[in-house]
Amino acid sequence: MSRIVIALGGNALLQNGEKRDYETQYAHAYQTFENLRFVTENNETVITHGNGPQVGDIQQSHDISGIAAHLHQSVAMSQGYIGEILANAYGNIRTKYGLRKNIFTIITRVLVDENDAAFSNPEKPIGRYYSDEGLEEAKRNGWIMKKFKDGWRRVVPSPEPREILEEPVIEYLLHNGNLPIAVGGGGVPVVRRGGSIYGIDAVIDKDLASSVLATAINADFLMILTDVDHVFINYGKPDQKALHEVHVDEIEKYLREGQFGEGSMKPKVMAAIRFVKNGGRKAFITSIENSMNALSGRSGTIIVQ
**Could you tell me the CATH number of the domain that includes residue 78?**
3.40.1160.10
Q: How far is CA 144 from the centre of its chain?
A: 22
Residue 137 domain flag = no
List the catalytic residue out of 127, 185, 187, 206. Answer: 206
Residue 16 domain flag = yes
Q: Is 176 a known active-site residue?
A: no
pLDDT of 139 reads 79
Residue 155 domain flag = no
Phi-psi region at 258: left, alpha or beta (left = phi > 0; alpha = psi -120 to 50)? left
pLDDT of 225 reads 96
Residue 106 domain flag = yes
pLDDT of 65 reads 81
DSSP codes, 215-264: HHTT-SEEEEEESSSSEEESTTSTT-EEE-EEEHHHHHHHHHTT-S-TTT
Residue 189 domain flag = yes
pLDDT of 77 reads 96
**Running along the chain, 305 residues long, what does each successive block of 10 average in pLDDT?**
94 84 96 96 97 87 82 96 97 98 98 97 85 83 86 92 98 97 98 96 96 98 95 93 97 96 91 98 95 90 96
Q: What is the rounded CA–CA span in Å between residue 12 and residue 262?
A: 21
Residue 134 domain flag = no
pLDDT of 124 reads 87
User: If 0-12 CB within 10 Å is exposed, 13-18 middle and 19+ buried, where does residue 93 land?
Assistant: buried
User: Is-contact 240 234, C-beta < 8 A?
Assistant: yes
User: If 0-12 CB within 10 Å is exposed, 13-18 middle and 19+ buried, where does residue 169 land?
Assistant: middle
Domain count within the chain: 1
Q: Is 9 a known active-site residue?
A: no
List the catalytic residue out of 50, 52, 268, 290. Answer: 268
Q: What is the rounded CA–CA span in Å between residue 37 and residue 264?
A: 26
Phi-psi region at 200: left, alpha or beta (left = phi > 0; alpha = psi -120 to 50)? beta
pLDDT of 282 reads 98
Q: Quickly count: other Cβ atoms within 10 Å of residue 59's Cβ.
A: 25
Residue 45 domain flag = yes
Q: Is 206 a known active-site residue?
A: yes
8-state DSSP, 161: P
Residue 99 domain flag = yes
Residue 61, domain extent: 3-113+161-219
Phi-psi region at 185: left, alpha or beta (left = phi > 0; alpha = psi -120 to 50)? left
pLDDT of 305 reads 92
pLDDT of 99 reads 98
Q: Quickly count: other Cβ atoms within 10 Å of residue 303's Cβ.
A: 27
Backbone dihedral angles phi then psi of residue 284, each to the nearest 5 degrees? -120, 140
pLDDT of 112 reads 98
Q: Is 124 a known active-site residue?
A: yes
Q: Residue 233 pairs with which residues in a beta bridge?
A: 241
DSSP alpha helix (H) spans, 162-205: 167-175
List the catalytic residue out of 83, 101, 124, 280. Answer: 124
pLDDT of 143 reads 84
Q: Is 266 a known active-site residue?
A: no
Q: What is the rounded CA–CA span in Å between residue 266 and residue 260?
A: 5
Q: Residue 232 pairs with which residues in a beta bridge?
A: 242
